[in-house]
Chains A and B, each alone.
Chain A
Amino acid sequence: MTTTLTRSRRPIVIAVAVGCVAIVAALVFWRVNGEAAATVPYDDAKSAGLLTLCSADGKAVTEGKLDDSPFADIVLGETALPSHLDPTGAVATLFAYQPRDGVATTEFSGNAITAAVEFAEPDEPAARVDEGAWTIGDFVTAFPADDDGYVQLRLVLGTPEAGTLSDQPYDTADLRVDGDAWELVRGGTASCADAESALLP
């Protein structure tokens, strides 16, 4: 049997269809940009951009176990080395910090997670996380995630000439620890497909 819509019901169907498309589009947008739009319980005025965590096989890493080692293989930043600096030998070092309720981000305690890693392009900073680096579990053992489970990652740049750019803005990602797992709450959306090329061999 074939059903033919009557002329009077057609606008309703179209409206429903449009609504469905809008909902799907919103869901897709939320999935793609949801992390970036998330809020965290602190405001870091020096956070200039977001970090994307990548696996060695070119996929985004958004969650893991506390004892995953490394918790991601490559971390991509999005804020370029200041243009007035000689980019020769520029490096990035990943730090982790412990948010504390009522404490300014400048007063967070933390530790270097990676060694300083030379990256390929001055406007695409990146660092490699080696197996010898602290896991997220190591970090929260040393610096418990007491502020609702949050851990902040910062990618700090440096050059041989200027040293570590501790006074410059940095890119960040925010993780949340729950039980024996962590998830990325706020991070970047850069493509991980070519992440390896961001680092010098």
Chain B
Amino acid sequence: MLDRRKSVGAAFVAVATASTLALTLTPAEADFSPQPNDVVSTGSDIIQNSFNFLADGYHEFPGYNAAGNRWRFVNFDSSGDAQGRSAFTDPRLLPTVTGNGTVGENGIKYVKQTDIKLLNPTISLRAGQDLVVRPSGGGGGGRDAIINDDQGWIDIGRSPDPLTPENQALAQSKLDTKLIRVQIATDRQLIATSTDSNAPATLSAEAILKIYHGDYKKWGDIPGYSGPAPTETIIPLLLPTDAGMWNTFLANVKRQNPAVAVTADYLRGNTNSIGVQQNDPTAITGLTTDALRKNAIVPFPRGRFRTLNKGYYTTTSDGAKTNNYNTEPGHRTAASAAGIKLLDADSEVDIAENTAPYGGNFAYNAIVRERDLNSTTPWQPGSTLNWVKALFYNPGGPKPFVRTPAGEQLLTAAGVTPNYHVFGTNNAEIETD
């Protein structure tokens, strides 16, 4: 496996890199703390944008909180970064090894890459309460966080994954209630390439499997390839194993290649692969040579691609400068998806065949307690609706906010497709219309 920092040896990262990481650290945060009746969600980073839009709106589209009601809908981002990037512990505090000119530059101090750990930023989940480590990710910070939340501080778990019978049993034992899963939208993971890529117009699920496993290393290895660069090396970009989009990628490849026993290790077998952050267009555009950039592929969520093109995200000039707000015209420079494209970009339907183009839908779920759905305590003053019914699922009553024209407009603005399904405590779908 190649690595961006291979020039200094697999065991080391340059001090320059360490400095960059140090400058992008996310400090322990003491931002907004919800009041007791505010509704709090934690979990998935890919889903956090749409939930933020639903709560607080986006540009001219008002979110739920724009109504000015007494109690608010509050989302905590997954990693502590609104753009979903990972933060790391301070590498300046790690043991160093001094380069000798053969390994690393002579006299320069290096740290081991494996010593650098993800930062666990902290938050106060409720006003006035002691800090906790921020629940992060759809599995651990969404589904599992609500299952383990005997404090009642987390109301909604954001997760792309369905619930299992084991999840329900655990919730029953820990919370004395089971869980309801409300799918509010669908996103789709596709393959991103550079806009001038040597890749063909579509890549089959089988080709993706064989590229990531290392069976296909050059474009010409793909049967039927008629592009301009059959002899050039394909660069599969690898998402971190703890990234939600990696799990989605693994699940999609498995589903579309049912005859192969696909595992995470199996998909990380191509020695030409490069590790990158998830959902980051600079994973491709930032590659240092045309040979890498034009031959790189990476799984990428379409919702993120679309919101990138709306200018929602900002460039951060990682490590190059701080307080961009004070120095950049308009306080920011919008990030964009310029330079990358999605293969089979307009596809909608999952096809569980290895000959079909790679692509897989994934759900934007709100996981809530059944007890909260059945609560007879109204949420907003004067209302009859509890918060689950007001926001997510109101059987037999007025549509919850996520299904109103305002809610669906916000989901569309977040780049995803409103798609409403509810799954009960037995994990079976409940008819809603």
Give me the interface of A with B, judged by CB distance under 8 Å. Answer: 89-91, 93, 95, 98, 100, 103, 106-116, 130, 132-134, 138-139, 141-144, 146, 156, 158-161, 163-164, 166
Contact = CB atoms under 8 A, between A and B. Distances in A.
Contact of A110 (B57, B61, B67, B409): B67
B70 interface: yes
B398 A115 contact: no
Nearest to A146: B382
B251 interface: no
B49 to A, nearest CB: 16
B382 A93 contact: no
Nearest to A98: B382
Contact of A164 (B66, B69, B70, B399): B66
Interface stretch (B23-31, B84-92, B119-127, B383-391): B383-391
A51 B68 CA distance: 20
Interface in B63-81: 64, 66-70
Contacts of B405: 112, 114-115, 130, 132-133
Q: How large is the interface on B (under 10, 10 to 19, 20 to 34, 35 or more residues)?
A: 20 to 34
Nearest to B409: A115
**Residue among B61, B398, B405, B406 facing the most chain A CB atoms (10 A cut-off):** B405
Contacts of A139: 398
A93 B406 CA distance: 8
Given A93-B62, A109-B383, A164-B62, A142 B67 contact: no
B280 interface: no
Nearest to B71: A109
Contacts of A142: 383-385, 390, 397-398
B60 A143 contact: no
A108 B66 CA distance: 13
B69 A132 contact: no
Contacts of A143: 380, 382-384
A90 B61 CA distance: 10
Contacts of B66: 93, 112, 156, 164, 166
7 contacts: A107-B70, A109-B69, A109-B70, A141-B384, A161-B59, A163-B59, A163-B60
B45 interface: no
Given A112-B66, A116-B62, A138-B398, A164 B57 contact: yes
Nearest to B379: A109
B408 interface: yes
A199 B399 CA distance: 25
A163 B57 contact: yes
B406 A115 contact: yes
A134 B401 CA distance: 10
Q: Is the interface of B mostly helix, strand, loop or mixed?
A: loop
Interface string B371-403: 000000000111111000010000001110100
A132 B398 CA distance: 11
Given A106-B68, A109-B70, A91 B60 contact: yes
Contact of A109 (B382, B399, B406): B382
Nearest to A161: B59
Interface in B341-360: none
B59, B397, B409: residue with the most chain A Cβ atoms closer than 10 Å:
B59
B401 A111 contact: yes
B60 A89 contact: yes
B409 A138 contact: no
B226 interface: no
Nearest to B69: A109
A115 B411 CA distance: 12
Nearest to B58: A163
B71 to A, nearest CB: 9
B419 interface: no
Given A110-B69, A166-B68, A138 B399 contact: yes
B166 to A, nearest CB: 36
A114 B406 contact: yes
A90, A113, A116 interface centre (most CB from chain B within 10 Å): A116
Contacts of B385: 142
B216 to A, nearest CB: 45
B110 to A, nearest CB: 47
B404 interface: yes
B381 A116 contact: no
Contacts of A163: 57, 59-60
Nearest to A99: B382
B399 A134 contact: yes
Nearest to B408: A115
B60 A160 contact: yes
Contacts of B406: 93, 112-116
A134 B398 contact: yes
Nearest to B385: A142
Contacts of B62: 93, 112, 116, 156, 158, 164, 166
Nearest to A141: B398
A146 B384 CA distance: 12
